[in-house]
Amino acid sequence: MRLYNFYFENIDGSNFDVENLAGKKVLIVNTASACGYTPQFGQLQELYEKTDRSKFEIIGFPSNDFGAQDPGSNNEIGQFCQKNYGVTFPMMSKTQVKGANAHPLYAWMKSETGEEPKWNFHKYIIDSNGNVLRSLESGVSPLDPEIMDWING
């Protein structure tokens, strides 16, 4: 299995073309609009703006799995991200990221790393071949040197 074997929808309900990720490094993040880590949206956007789209992509997956901190509709979440953080990186439809009903992508990433998200803004690092390399806890900034070195390496 690789990242390209999965299907997911953009926050507007349209199909996300996972084929466009081929050959790119990808940072996958489960997000929430009312969390102590929510300011990471700004850091994610900064990272997105300073990296080469042909080599790197960020994908956000809103989730209400932790503390019910993203109860809004997809439309409300999308508007919040745009208005408050100017988010232009791809945001997917609200998704379950843990437990028995986790999206198959998240179940696969858990099986590959042995780590399920413990909270909002958990990050998975995917190599340019679509393989999961590792996961990072919520408290790791998207601008952390480890992430920057991986992107630029």
Taken as a whole, the chain contains a residue count of 153
What one-letter code names the amino acid at 126?
I
Question: pLDDT per position in the chain (153 positions), as tens?
Answer: 999 999 999 999 999 999 999 999 999 999 999 999 999 999 999 999 999 999 999 999 999 999 999 999 999 999 999 999 999 999 999 999 999 999 999 999 999 999 999 999 999 999 999 999 999 999 999 999 999 999 998
Q: List the catalytic residues.
A: 35
Whether 77 and 109 have beta carbons less than 8 Å apart is answered as: no
Second-level CATH architecture of 3-152: 3-Layer(aba) Sandwich (3.40)
SS3 content of the chain, % helix, strand, coil (to 5): 30, 20, 50
H helix and E strand count, the chain: 4, 4
Show the tokens assigned to 49: 């703006």
What one-letter code names the amino acid at 67?
G
